[in-house]
């Protein structure tokens, strides 16, 4: 079935995918599959010690056979520039909606491991990572400085948009991303505020009207993704 330019790829969310992590989500967007897990430690980075605030960080990894040809593993703490950029984006996006003081002196690490890549791995990691983050915080909520104050102010999700054959297109898969004259990743809160916009022309330029059309499409996509997150979390939805 052909997907319309303003449609998301089919999404599947499976919570509690692993037993050992308090937050664990298998997130599928079309043929892109990411395992998002969140863990909590009762300490913080040294530069935050004693300040009464927590921290949220993220790690991102593509498994060797998530792409073809096989991607070599990143070992001994050595990660390439793309990996570093993506995991920083994931962490920034999650912290943007967090009340770190309400978290207390705890470190939450969200790990995003790409099992299969067909475009949109960073946006899927943010959207699925948020679900895992909520699960992990729920698991320690009674231990928070004020258990009645949930340390997330809003939800956050991300989506890609682009100009493909002159048409604003939502949620690009690999082939669409490769063909796009302009591509953009948009991170937004459930309340409709922007967190980050990453956009570029690929040997092309774009106008104010193009930008407006892409952001309008992204906003629609984020609204639909927020509904997916809310449905997946059910009674654990905090807003």
Domain that holds residue 180: 11-236
Rounded to a whole number, what is the distance in angstroms from the first to the last CA of the chain?
35
How far apart CA 156 and CA 40 sit, in angstroms, is 19
Q: Any idea what the CATH number is for the domain that residue 219 is in?
A: 3.30.230.70
Counted domains in the chain: 1
Q: For residue 203, tell me if it sits in a domain.
A: yes
Q: For residue 4, tell me if it sits in a domain.
A: no
Lookup: tokens for 66: 């998530």
Q: For residue 73, tell me if it sits in a domain.
A: yes
Q: Give the model's pLDDT for residue 234.
A: 97
Q: Give the model's pLDDT for residue 77.
A: 62
Q: For residue 132, tell me if it sits in a domain.
A: yes
Q: For residue 24, tell me if it sits in a domain.
A: yes
Q: For residue 3, tell me if it sits in a domain.
A: no
pTM, rounded to two decimals: 0.94
Q: For 142-162, what is the mean pLDDT?
A: 96
């Amino acid at each position: 079935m052909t997907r319309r330019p303003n449609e998301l790829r089919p999404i599947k969310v499976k919570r509690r995918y692993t037993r050992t992590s308090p937050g664990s989500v298998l997130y599928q967007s079309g043929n892109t599959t990411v395992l998002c897990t969140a863990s909590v430690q009762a300490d913080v980075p040294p530069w935050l010690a004693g300040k009464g605030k927590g921290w949220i960080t993220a790690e991102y990894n593509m498994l060797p056979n998530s792409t073809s040809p096989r991607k070599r593993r990143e070992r001994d703490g050595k990660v390439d520039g793309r990996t570093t950029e993506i995991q920083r984006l994931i962490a920034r996006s999650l912290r943007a909606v967090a009340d770190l003081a309400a978290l207390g002196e705890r470190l939450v690490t969200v790990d995003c491991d790409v099992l299969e890549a067909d475009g949109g791995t960073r946006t899927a990691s943010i959207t699925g990572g948020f679900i895992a983050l909520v699960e992990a915080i729920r698991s320690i909520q009674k231990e928070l400085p004020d258990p009645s104050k949930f340390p997330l102010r809003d939800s956050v999700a991300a989506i890609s948009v682009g100009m493909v054959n002159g048409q604003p297109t939502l949620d690009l898969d690999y082939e669409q991303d490769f063909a796009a004259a302009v591509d953009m990743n948009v991170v937004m809160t459930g309340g409709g505020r922007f967190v980050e916009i990453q956009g570029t022309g690929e040997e092309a330029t774009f106008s104010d009207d193009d930008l407006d059309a892409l952001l309008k499409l992204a906003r629609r996509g984020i609204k639909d993704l927020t509904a997916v997150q809310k449905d997946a979390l059910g009674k654990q939805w905090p807003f």
